[in-house]
Structure 1
């Protein structure tokens, strides 16, 4: 099939760069001089919350520092959105299992 472009395989750490190369190729084929600018755009949730912000969140939420750190690592600056769900309903702070820092509010957040 002439002109068909596909991307197969790759590693998650390289997907953004592969996508950029693909978009740039499509732009060139379409005669556009505009290229992808995603390399300069922070990912959603960037930057990660500061240690102070996470310590304050642990104090305010009553959740363990392990759980707060886990949320900060997963959601970056958006970790407070998960904590907002715990504020609305304290059941959201329940651990999903005793061997993991994941909490019920993460499930709610993923559905929302």
Structure 2
């Protein structure tokens, strides 16, 4: 059972365009010609773009992996430096709080 707001004809049209077998018996009887005309032929540019993506995907993944591997040491060093700086800020805050408390005590 599907949701009443779903247009079954639109679903079947999308399935035909994607190359899926129609599930609705009334649409399954449609001629092969109707199914073929429902699919618009891809332009040369679209085919080139799809092929370029297909070829580029593994290259991009390799580059990302290499960048992650190459920068892992630097990232870890920066994280360590950040931890040290946070500790220094906490130390300075403590010193400042102690100095302000001493100053307030002297004013009394």
- Range into which the TM-score falls when normalised by the shorter chain: under 0.3
Largest Rg, 1 or 2: 2
- Larger helix proportion, structure 1 or 2? 2
Give the structure-2-normalised TM-score.
0.27
Q: Return the structure number with greater relative CO, CA threshold 8 A, min gap 6.
A: 1
Give the structure-1-normalised TM-score.
0.27
